[in-house]
Structure 1
Amino acid sequence: MKFKTRLVVAFFTIILIPLALSSALVCMVGKYQLSSIEKNYGIKNTTVESLASSVTVLTRLTEQPYRELEALIQEDPEEMEDAAQLESLNGELQDKKSYLLVRKNDTISYIGTEASKAEKVISQLPEYGAAETTSENGMYLGGKAQVLLKQIDFRYSDGSEGSAFIVTNVGSLIPEVKNLFVEIIVCIFLVLVFTACVLIIWIYRSVMGPVGKMREATKSIKEGNLDFELPVETDDELGQLCGDLEDMRKRLKNTAEEKLKFDKENKELISNISHDLKTPVTTIKGYAEGIMDGVADTPDKVAKYVRTIYNKASEMDVLINELTLYSKIDTNRIPYNFTILSVNDYFNDCSEDLSLDLEAKNVEFGYFNYVEPEVKVIADPEQIKRVVHNIVNNSVKYMDKDKPKINLRVKDVGDFVQVEIEDNGKGIASKDLPNVFERFYRTDASRNSSKGGSGIGLSIVKKIIEEHGGKIWATSREHTGTTMYFVLRKYQEVPVNE
């Protein structure tokens, strides 16, 4: 889940879940408290809406005592002078947070509470007969009294006017009503806290899990440890970040491995060049000392020594040139001069040069061209010549037959021109064949050292062919010979629409 989607889900969750849970809890708490109020105070058909108004609650609270008092007065008004009866009635009213006042003519004959608390009410009591204009819901006395008053007027047996008042303090709600509203507020608060905690834990775990793994990964990278894997477990932004970090780790590891390989190759190159230069240098030094010491005491010997010195110097020049070319290849600084070449013309000239060189080395050379005259390629003639000569020289260097032979074939293979250079040399073992184009790879280190060379000739060949957009490979059989193949893409003219 995307992080943006998580936030949208969290937004709607923090609205909908508290709303649903709060509604459910309010209904449960409200039902419980309403049943408690009805049971404790004898109120029936109570609703939350009715409890929301304190006057409505207090009116219904004294509804039953009012009717009982009214029935008692109608049956026997003289009961309003019976102290025991009045105390009993007042006790019932006190359970309902109310009290009783009885007035005879203009005198208060009974007060169901402390006189100091009733003074403000007594000073605002309505006149006799006011009950005819009020319903059983009572009347509200404002000012300093702040009470709900229910009045029942009657006459004593002696004709005196009497009034009984049920007084309920509007400022004091019944405890269950207070508890109901408090519990509703607490429930809503708890639901909000619960929802917030769940969402925080959800988002925290979804964020801190990948972040923790990334911290461990960056710590390992900082310490140079790249041998680990950072799995991508989510498809969100953090998962993508983990994927990017894993890609970075892989690249760093590859770079580190390439650097180690490069350092190893450089050390091997230096070792090879040092070893291969040491032999001709020693020879040159020896023959030069022979001339200086007079060992070469005849013109023929001097000529022989000089010729040997020249040949060894030439070997050193070849090694140095290979090293220079390798350096250019490694830094991609080979200057290519691509041009359109006729395949027949180019390889005919190339075969003539090879024929002369190989004839001087007593190597039989065969040239076979199966390409039509109009076939062309785009290539650097100097570099392709270097490819052919490197392969041929490599074949001659390791030739072990009494009658060495090298064949050059040029074939048309569809969109490519394929060049094959075949020898009847010692061959290459199957386990070594896949590695012959790697830098510094030697199938037989001792044999190659004796033959000279830096071990980078075929790697140079591969690099040049790949820069031409071609491909190179080899097949070989031990003790039979080796065939090197490379292909170059044909040049195809695009017709111009007139």
Structure 2
Amino acid sequence: MSGAHKESLGYPIATATYATLFLGLFLGVLGKYFGFFEWEIIFIFTTVTFVFIFLLTHFRVRVFIYRSIKKIYDDVSLLEDAQLTPHKITTNMESLKQEVQKYATDKKLEIESLRIQEEYRKDFIGNVAHELKTPLFTVQGYILTLLDGAMNDKSVRKKYLQRADKGVERLIYLVNDLDMITKLEVGDMNLNYSYFDIVKLVKNSFELLEMKAAKRNITLTFDAEYLEPVMVNADEERIQQLLTNLLDNSIKYGKEDGTTEISIQHLIQNKILVRVTDNGEGISNEHLTRLFERFYRVDKSGNRKVGGSGLGLSIVKHIIEAHDERIYVESEFGVGSEFSFTLEEAEDIE
């Protein structure tokens, strides 16, 4: 057994001291009683006794503690990154206590993390099943109706096939979003950085959603007139998708006859801040911290007034984080919401 490991000498020293004092006192009393009291003999005897008891106690305790602690190390794999050789095991009780506390703390954190992941997994599976179930049952219902004889009526047949087609489109939309967010989360989606004008990109997004906004008479506008390009360095396609998702959400939950406004603010250190502000329903504070979770919905009633995969904001968050940028949200219930994100501003390009 190697002596390189830490040892606790307090116990054998105390044991040897108490035993020596007792035997020395006992020998002194006997010497006085029988008349052979000699200091030299008592000193030699007590010294030899102290050394003998110390060595014996130390050796026995050391062997006992070493074996007991080694069994603990073996049972709980306290040193998971090293082999349990004698010189790596401590017989110092304070050191052992600290290591056991560290082990218990680490395991508690690991168990808590696993519990959270398990709850998240259950929620995710339940949400995916719910999101897929609605369009699947819709498509199945229309097809079964057609098979039961409705297909003989041309007007009904066309109407039901069109509705079934919309259900299939929703399924495709959901599956595509799931595929994208999975790639973003595992880092499997490469970003194609390029220099582009963010003002022009916003205008393109306005054009894409112009008809959808017109249905609710919502105005898509800038906060000011941007006469000069604002060049940024990012993945243009992904930022286009991010803007589309934010504007789409703003239209869905915005107030009819309302406004969605985009502003672009120059920050320090070659950064810009893009802000998407609306005067819609707003979001209460209790929901703000969970807005970017997959399938998280503010309205828990299940009676949705608007469609969507429930993944839009989660995709937005992952796109921004993939660019090593930040996204922020501020909202006041009944007043409106503002989503803002940073991008790297491109240096002057000749």
TM-score by length of 1: 0.51
* 1:253 aligned onto 2:108: no
SS at match of 2:285: coil
Please, which of 143, 150, 153 is the counterpart of residue 285 of structure 1? 143
- Report the Cα distance in structure 1 between the residues aligned to 2:256 and 2:211, rounded to whole angstroms: 19
Deviation at 1:192, TM superposition (A): 0.8
Q: What is the 5 A alignment of 1:153-302?
A: 186-196=45-55, 211=69, 218=76, 237-238=95-96, 241-242=99-100, 244-278=102-136, 280-282=138-140, 284-285=142-143, 288=146, 292-297=150-155
Tell me whether 1:346 sits opposite 2:201 in the alignment.
yes
Q: Is 2:304 aligned against 1:446?
A: no
Q: Could you say if the C-alpha distance between residues 437 and 359 of structure 1 is closer, same or farther in structure 2, counting changes exceeding 3 Å?
A: same
1:406 aligns with 2:254: no
**What displacement does 1:483 show?**
1.8
- Report if aligned partners of 2:139, 2:164 keep a CA contact under 8 Å in 1: no
Q: Which has the higher contact order (CA 8 A, sep 6+)?
A: 2
Amino acid of the structure 2 residue aligned with 1:486: F
- 1:63 maps to what in 2? none
What CA deviation, in whole Å up to 9, does each residue of 1:97-139 have, x standing for no partner? xxxxxxxxxxxxxxxxxxxxxxxxxxxxxxxxxxxxxxxxxxx
Aligned ranges 1:72-221 → 2 under 5 Å = 186-196=45-55, 211=69, 218=76
Contact in 2 for aligned 1:269/1:454 (Cα 8 Å)? no
Q: CA 1:288/1:480 → structure 2, altered by over 3 Å: closer, same or farther?
A: farther
Distance in 2, matches of 1:354 and 1:325, equals: 21
CA contact (8 A) 1:370 1:410 kept: no
Secondary structure at 1:432's aligned position in 2? helix
2:203 is equivalent to residue 322 of structure 1: no
Please say if residues 420 and 486 of structure 1, whose CA atoms lie closer than 8 Å, have aligned partners that are also in contact: yes
Is the 8 Å Cα contact of residues 261 and 278 (structure 2) preserved in structure 1?
A: yes
**Cα separation, 1, equivalents of 2:157 and 2:6:** 91
With over 3 angstroms needed to count, the CA separation of the structure-2 counterparts of 1:405 and 1:289, relative to structure 1, is farther
> Percent same amino acid among aligned pairs?
20
> In the TM superposition, what is the alpha-carbon distance from 1:249 to its structure 2 partner?
0.6
Deviation at 1:459, TM superposition (A): 1.7
Q: CA 1:402 to 1:373, structure 2 compared with 1: closer, same or farther past 3 Å?
A: closer
Change in Cα spacing, 1:255 to 1:430, as seen in structure 2 (3 Å) is: closer
Task: Write the deviation string for residues 389-411 of structure 1: whole angstroms up to 9, x where unpaired.
Answer: 22222233334x33243222222
The CA distance in 1 between the partners of 2:347 and 2:52, in whole Å, is 75
When residues 374 and 408 of structure 1 are mapped into structure 2, their CA distance, relative to the original with a 3 A threshold, is closer
Q: Name the CA distance, whole Å, in 2 between partners of 1:192 and 1:277.
A: 86
Instruction: Give the TM-score, by structure 2 length.
Output: 0.70
How far the C-alpha of 1:202 sits from its partner, in A, is 8.6
Query: Which residue matches 1:487?
Result: 342
Q: How many residues align?
A: 319
Q: Indicate conservation of the 8 Å contact 2:219/2:259, yes or no.
A: yes
CA distance in 2, matches of 1:235, 1:346: 66
Paired residue secondary structure (1:281): helix
Shift of 1:374: 6.6
What are structure 1's unaligned runs of at least 5 residues? 41-175, 220-233, 494-498
- Matching residue's letter, 2:240: K
Alignment of 1:18-97 (within 5 A): none
* Secondary structure, counterpart of 2:170 in structure 1: helix
In structure 2, what is the Cα distance between the partners aligned to 1:382 and 1:435? 26
Match in the other structure for 1:472: 327
| AA partner of residue 190 (structure 2) | P
Letter in 2 for 1:256: L
Deviation readout 1:202-252 (Å, 9 max, x if unpaired): 9799x68x9599679949xxxxxxxxxxxxxx9975356335424531442
Residue 233 of structure 2 aligns to a residue whose secondary structure is strand
CA distance in 1, matches of 2:148, 2:234: 48
What SS is found at the alignment partner of 1:446?
coil
Residues 329-340 of structure 1: matches in 2 within 5 Å?
329-340=184-195
Query: C-alpha offsets along residues 291-337 of structure 1, whole Å, 9 cap, x if unaligned?
Result: 9533344xxx7665554443333222212212222332343323322
SS at match of 2:152: coil
The alpha carbon displacement at 1:287 in A equals: 7.4
Distance in 2 of aligned mates of 1:331 and 1:366: 35
3-state SS of paired residue (2:301)? helix
Number of the residue aligned with 2:213: 358
Q: Is the 8 A contact 2:216 2:257 kept in 1?
A: no
Matched residues in 2 for 1:304 and 1:412: separation?
Answer: 51
